[in-house]
Structure 1
Amino acid sequence: MFDALADRLEAAWKKLRGQDKISQSNIQDALREVRRALLEADVNLQVVKEFISEVEAKAQGAEVIAGVRPDQQFIKIVYDELVQVMGETNVPLVQAQNPPTIVLMAGLQGTGKTTATAKLALHLRKIDRTCLMVATDVYRPAAIEQLVTLGKQIDVPVFEMGSDADPVEIARLGVERGRAEKFDTVIIDTAGRLQIDADMMAELARIKEVVQPHETLLVVDAMTGQEAANLTRTFHEQIGITGAILTKLDGDSRGGAALSVRRISGAPIKFVGVGEKVEALQPFYPDRMASRILGMGDVLTLVEKAQEEFDLADAEKMQEKILAAKFDFTDFLKQLRLLKNMGSLGGILKLIPGMNKLSSDQLQQGETQLKRCEAMINSMTQEERKNPDLLASSPSRRRRIAGGSGYKEADVSKLVSDFQKMRSLMQQMGQGSFPGMPGMFGGGMGNPLAAGGNRPTPPGWRGYSGGASAKKKPKKDKKKKGFGTL
């Protein structure tokens, strides 16, 4: 996501490195690179013109702060303008005073509208809002079955009347069911077309008139670039939408849609889809997205991902084990699986400041090493997982594990050796010190979370000890989540 744009923008910063101050002469080369970067990212031409004009005006009028290099100050100006273009703040879903809140989903075929409906329902369920999904797409083969299947997967009920009923009547009765059964939110999945046509718009208008939705969200494919912004504007003018959901953002390295939708259509981006899994939906925060585009990471999103997966009580127990140097292979395997649940290793690392420059080969190497670790740990007995010292002193055990996992005895020996070093270092981290990490997981991982070389620990992460500083909050139930040890 935004890889090409980020690389191009970095070329712009280089134009200002070594300069004493920002001036009319040296700013032009940097602006030229920024303009080229935005155009190659398929950002709308009018948005590019306005963006460059604003950045130029702010850069020329900026006073260089003592101790801040011109290129750093220029990055700050570009960051502020990116946030401005994308909408400044997150726009949350409306919550009706008299439930249910009615959300109408619209969009063309192939944008991932039905999946986005389920993703939104799961997102709301995670924040304790009960949802009912309504299937009104009676035209696309298996659309209703798809929504029913997704509903079972995320444990959200689906109201449907088959493919022979009138979509407007399905929507009306679905809202009545939601109101009668006291659901917090009713999400209506509507039919799409391959392109905008009068029939689709007329049906959407009728459904909207009957159900009176609090939110009308347009699902648009980020891969279409600036055309996504034009599509959003057309729907906004003809139907009236309250926001957009950008899907397939993980597959678009350009990012033009995210930078164009708000300025062209006037409708805010409320959510982004960042993967195929039903959990892969994130609220859209312009400031966080701007930070990712500029290669600064996104620690807040990383923390939120972790909070969804880690239980506070488990984190506290893990903290105690780390401090007592009793962290074992069972704990390690659990952490690996929780890390998997948060998404791909590459996606997680790009949220960490300083890790955005890892190549795809390095990320692939990291993924491979984690899989090797998991395979070898799965070949251990419960006793061996709980007591890694048994493996350190027994070549026959290491040979058996190597045979069972399909790797060499030397690989198992290295895993055990690295694990013992890591356990010792984690104990020191928990006590406030953070010595340099040796190669982990078999060559190529200088940081236990990073792949590809002995990279320094990112600024701001020194002394980090997982859940040590987490304050225990009153629990509503035993499923209350917290931030654990990665």
Structure 2
Amino acid sequence: MVLQDLGKRINAAVTDLTRAPTMSEKAFDGMIKEICNALMEADVNIRLVGTLRKAIKSKVKFGELAPHANKRRIIQQAVFEALVDIVNPHEKAWQPKKAKSNVIMFVGLQGAGKTTTCTKLAIYYKARGFKVCLVCADTFRAGAFDQLKQNATKAGIPYYGSLTQTNPVTVASDGVAKFKKERFEIIIVDTSGRHQQENALFAEMVEIQAAVQPQQTVMVLDASIGQAAEAQSRAFKETADFGAIIITKTDGAAAGGGAISAVAATHTPIIFIGTGEHQSDFESFKPESFVKRLLGMGDMSALMEKIQMNNGDQKPTMKNLAEGKFSVRDMRDQIANVSKMGPLSKLAGMMPGGMGGLMQGMDDEEGSMKMKRMIYICDSMTEKELDSDGKIFTEQPARMTRVARGSGTSVREVEELLSQQQMMAGMAKKMKGMGAAGQKGAPGALGAGGRGQQAQMAAMQKKLASMGGAGGGGMPDMGSLMKMMGGGGGGGGMPDMSSLMNMMGGGGAGGAGAGRGGRR
């Protein structure tokens, strides 16, 4: 993955120095040299690397450190701050306003992934309550409108484009006017990919910008662009004066540092990164969080945001849990929610320290297949069976045989799923009524999915951030999570759903912690 090797090398250099029995200035200089070499090999601009080198040395004056000073912590903090400074443009990113038309125009090179990214951004804002739409002003590339149409239809987002109108300025202007009239809050305009030397396309970009008057112009940069990133981003900045950058294809094998160099070259904030081809492979970018993940420190806020975005409608399950129940259908819903979060290896970078390392070695394909088989089992049940407490299967074992045959699985797999469901039902029974503890009116707020739930999520994120990745009561049991997905020699068994539930709910091991937190 882009920058993954860079992160490992930087982390290894810092770790080797800080774990040494004695730390000398010569070893410190060696660490800086290794970090700089790693950055240059990742296509980070050489001037930026020089700036970083000076920043670290100025923060850590090795010869002036007091004998009792915690050299390890000082060095780690200096490296962290210097790396954050590279990706931090010190410019506040623009934010759309509710109840107003916010036009966002996309620009970038051919093949950077603009059309896909337009859809991902639309989905991001739609999930946050904005009325969102898409306009295809790319009349240059064959199939551009069809691609946007397919993406938008799949995501349930209104779109505008034309198969007959060849003037992109007219298409963009008509589309924006139409959606403004219909009071859409986020209007995203996709434009033709272009190259620095294509003056006609650059002129067209300026015309579109003048016609639609965007509140925000976003440049999309391919993470594999390399050293050309600075020159290209400067050319676009001088022409379109974009106010934000989105880096795509960070799941590839390229170095990726060139795209980050564009931030320093144009003093423009990176606002999102694309981490894969799927519509959910899209993350908001925060310099501190990014560097934490780069250094293996984890990024709990990103993990909690991902959990929150993929949690779906939790009201039925929350209602059941408040009553001390956990049906087979609740079990299925939780499995589906976890599967939406993507491959576990992608979550690894968000996990602090050793837990992320445990997850990175997992077989995503095997884990994904196990989740799918669990869904198949549940989908082969009748409505009565899904809404039951699971005991109907022990009372009538023939039902398990029927479900196994219908789902193409084994009776053993059905038994294991039901065993996990029974364990969760037992936990739910113990948790009954505990959700209200410490928060007056919590059950009602949770049931409504309103501010109470948002407040709880914010409090949970704050708690996790304060833990500093130290794996406390708010963390899932990653050993069990690894084992359940087959990464720990679990054989063909079913996932440990108690760990999954804790992960989805943000609670600690043993149900009661989650209940006291009020999340469930």
Q: TM-score range by the shorter chain?
A: 0.7 to 0.9
- Write the mapping of 1:456-471 to structure 2, written as runs, cut at 5 A: 468=515
- What residue is the counterpart of 1:134 in the other structure? 135
Structure 2 counterpart SS, 1:336: helix
- What residue is the counterpart of 2:367 in the other structure? 366
- The answer to which of 262-271 and 90-99 deviates more is 90-99
Note closer, same or farther for the CA distance 1:227–1:407 as it changes in structure 2 (3 Å cut). Answer: same
- What residue is the counterpart of 2:345 in the other structure? 346
Distance 1:160 1:264 in 2: 34
Distance 1:258 1:199 in 2: 25
- What residue is the counterpart of 2:322 in the other structure? 320
Distance 2:59 2:272 in 1: 30
- What residue is the counterpart of 1:209 in the other structure? 210
- What residue is the counterpart of 1:249 in the other structure? 250
Residue 198 of structure 1: CA displacement? 1.0
- The answer to which of 461-470 and 104-113 deviates more is 461-470
Native 8 Å contact 2:196 2:236 kept in 1: no
Distance 1:461 1:196 in 2: 56
- What residue is the counterpart of 1:100 in the other structure? 101
Alpha-carbon RMSD across the aligned residues, in angstroms, is: 3.8
1:34 aligns with 2:35: yes
Aligned residues between the structures: 462
Distance 1:66 1:464 in 2: 43
Native 8 Å contact 1:261 1:269 kept in 2: no
Residue 360 of structure 1: CA displacement? 4.0
- What residue is the counterpart of 2:296 in the other structure? 295
Distance 2:251 2:6 in 1: 14
Greater helix fraction, Structure 1 or Structure 2: 2
Note closer, same or farther for the CA distance 1:178–1:440 as it changes in structure 2 (3 Å cut). Answer: closer
Native 8 Å contact 1:328 1:387 kept in 2: yes
- What residue is the counterpart of 1:456 in the other structure? none
Letter paired with 1:79:
F
Letter paired with 2:239:
Q
Distance 2:293 2:428 in 1: 29
Distance 2:327 2:414 in 1: 15
Residue 337 of structure 1: CA displacement? 0.8
1:159 aligns with 2:160: yes
Distance 2:129 2:485 in 1: 39
Structure 1 counterpart SS, 2:129: coil
1:305 aligns with 2:306: yes
Residue 381 of structure 1: CA displacement? 4.3
Native 8 Å contact 1:316 1:468 kept in 2: no
- Uncovered stretches (5+) of structure 2, i.e. residues with no partner: 436-472, 501-505
Residue 235 of structure 1: CA displacement? 1.0
Distance 1:259 1:397 in 2: 57
Note closer, same or farther for the CA distance 1:65–1:374 as it changes in structure 2 (3 Å cut). Answer: farther
Letter paired with 2:322:
E
- What residue is the counterpart of 1:265 in the other structure? 266
- What residue is the counterpart of 1:329 in the other structure? 328
- What residue is the counterpart of 1:173 in the other structure? 174
1:239 aligns with 2:240: yes
Native 8 Å contact 1:133 1:158 kept in 2: yes
Structure 2 counterpart SS, 1:133: strand
Residue 272 of structure 1: CA displacement? 1.6
Distance 2:367 2:65 in 1: 43
Note closer, same or farther for the CA distance 1:211–1:416 as it changes in structure 2 (3 Å cut). Answer: closer
Native 8 Å contact 1:91 1:270 kept in 2: no
Q: TM-score, normalised by structure 1?
A: 0.81
Note closer, same or farther for the CA distance 1:147–1:108 as it changes in structure 2 (3 Å cut). Answer: same
Native 8 Å contact 1:365 1:444 kept in 2: no
Letter paired with 2:295:
L
Residue 410 of structure 1: CA displacement? 3.8
- Uncovered stretches (5+) of structure 1, i.e. residues with no partner: 452-458, 472-483
Structure 2 counterpart SS, 1:186: strand
Structure 1 counterpart SS, 2:224: helix
Distance 1:447 1:428 in 2: 19
Distance 2:394 2:92 in 1: 54
Note closer, same or farther for the CA distance 1:315–1:74 as it changes in structure 2 (3 Å cut). Answer: farther
Note closer, same or farther for the CA distance 1:188–1:88 as it changes in structure 2 (3 Å cut). Answer: closer
- What residue is the counterpart of 2:444 in the other structure? none
Note closer, same or farther for the CA distance 1:400–1:150 as it changes in structure 2 (3 Å cut). Answer: closer
- The answer to which of 440-449 and 28-37 deviates more is 440-449
Structure 1 counterpart SS, 2:271: strand
- The answer to which of 92-101 and 426-435 deviates more is 426-435
Distance 2:350 2:430 in 1: 25
Structure 2 counterpart SS, 1:304: helix
Native 8 Å contact 2:135 2:187 kept in 1: yes
Distance 1:404 1:178 in 2: 47
Native 8 Å contact 1:103 1:188 kept in 2: yes
Residue 240 of structure 1: CA displacement? 1.7
CA shift digits 1:178-234 (9 cap, x unpaired): 443333233221112366411111111222233332221111111223433432222
Residue 390 of structure 1: CA displacement? 4.4
- Write the mapping of 1:114-153 to structure 2, written as runs, cut at 5 A: 114-153=115-154
CA shift digits 1:405-433 (9 cap, x unpaired): 44444444444445544555676789799
Residue 27 of structure 1: CA displacement? 0.8
Q: TM-score, normalised by structure 2?
A: 0.76
Note closer, same or farther for the CA distance 1:94–1:396 as it changes in structure 2 (3 Å cut). Answer: closer
- What residue is the counterpart of 1:200 in the other structure? 201
Native 8 Å contact 1:333 1:377 kept in 2: yes
- Write the mapping of 1:75-90 to structure 2, written as runs, cut at 5 A: 75-87=76-88
Residue 82 of structure 1: CA displacement? 1.9
CA shift digits 1:301-338 (9 cap, x unpaired): 222222233446345325336xx3x3233211111111
Native 8 Å contact 2:339 2:371 kept in 1: no
Distance 1:65 1:115 in 2: 55
Residue 441 of structure 1: CA displacement? 6.6
Native 8 Å contact 2:298 2:349 kept in 1: yes
- The answer to which of 352-361 and 433-442 deviates more is 433-442
Native 8 Å contact 2:8 2:294 kept in 1: no
- What residue is the counterpart of 2:470 in the other structure? none
Native 8 Å contact 1:17 1:71 kept in 2: yes
CA shift digits 1:7-36 (9 cap, x unpaired): 212321332244467542221232233223
Residue 84 of structure 1: CA displacement? 1.4
Structure 2 counterpart SS, 1:57: helix
Residue 289 of structure 1: CA displacement? 1.0
- What residue is the counterpart of 1:57 in the other structure? 58
Tell me the percent identity. 29
Note closer, same or farther for the CA distance 1:224–1:56 as it changes in structure 2 (3 Å cut). Answer: same
Note closer, same or farther for the CA distance 1:297–1:441 as it changes in structure 2 (3 Å cut). Answer: closer
